[in-house]
């Protein structure tokens, strides 16, 4: 797929009630800004923000989206492209996803997180297309009143994402070869 084709699959889903703080798209395609006034606990509704995009991910942006005056903790997982795999030099990764199914699976993961931990906001961003070495391919952020809940939730969310969400990864090596990688954690993967 070309980057133009991948860009057409960019997706953002926000689950929120009308009274929760709005997300505003900055002009000229800039980053999202979180618009918030001082709100009480009853007014700030929990939200799940899910985005698959070909754009470079901003850890700061994702962190800000889950920040809340009601929370004392924001926990993050940032998955980046490393420069090697099994003795081969990796120059980038390429990700593809079946967006409707991926979004539904991430929404289920958010629901599971909320049943297991008392968290406020959850953001799951996954990059599609080429991701160079050291750049983020996935950012997960969770806010909660106390650190134990957000730390547990982030760990669970990345493990569940790797096991259940239909995202495919191709490693591109320096010697002009590449290899699609099967995620051994996926429930549909067969045993070797």
Q: Which residues are annotated as a binding site for substrate?
A: 146-147, 162, 169-171
Enter the tokens of residue 137: 């391919």
Residues making up the annotated binding site are 146-147, 162, 169-171
CA 50, chain centre distance (Å):
7
Scan for tokens 């199914």, then name that residue. Answer: 101
DSSP states along 112-167? HHHHHS-EEEEEEEEE-EEEETTSEEEEEEEEESSHHHHHHHHHHHHHHHHHHS-E
DSSP states along 56-99? PP-HHHHHHHH--TT-SEEEEEEEE--SEETTEEEEEEEEEE-H
């Amino acid at each position: 797929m070309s980057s133009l084709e991948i860009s057409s699959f960019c997706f953002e889903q926000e689950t929120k009630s009308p009274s929760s703080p709005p997300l505003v798209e900055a002009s000229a395609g800039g980053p999202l800004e979180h618009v918030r006034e001082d709100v009480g606990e009853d007014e700030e509704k929990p939200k799940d923000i899910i985005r698959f995009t070909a754009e470079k991910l901003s850890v700061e942006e994702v962190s800000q989206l889950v920040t809340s005056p009601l929370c004392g903790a924001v926990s993050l997982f940032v998955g980046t492209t490393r420069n090697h795999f099994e003795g081969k030099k990796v120059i980038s990764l390429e990700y593809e996803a079946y967006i409707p199914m991926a979004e539904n699976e991430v929404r289920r993961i958010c629901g599971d997180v909320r049943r297991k931990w008392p968290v406020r906001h959850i953001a799951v961003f996954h990059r599609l297309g080429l991701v160079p070495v050291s750049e983020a391919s996935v950012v997960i952020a969770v806010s909660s009143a106390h650190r134990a809940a957000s730390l547990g939730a982030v760990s669970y969310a990345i493990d569940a994402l790797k096991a259940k969400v239909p995202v495919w990864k191709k490693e591109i090596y320096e010697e002009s070869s590449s290899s699609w990688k099967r995620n051994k954690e996926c429930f549909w993967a067969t045993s070797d």
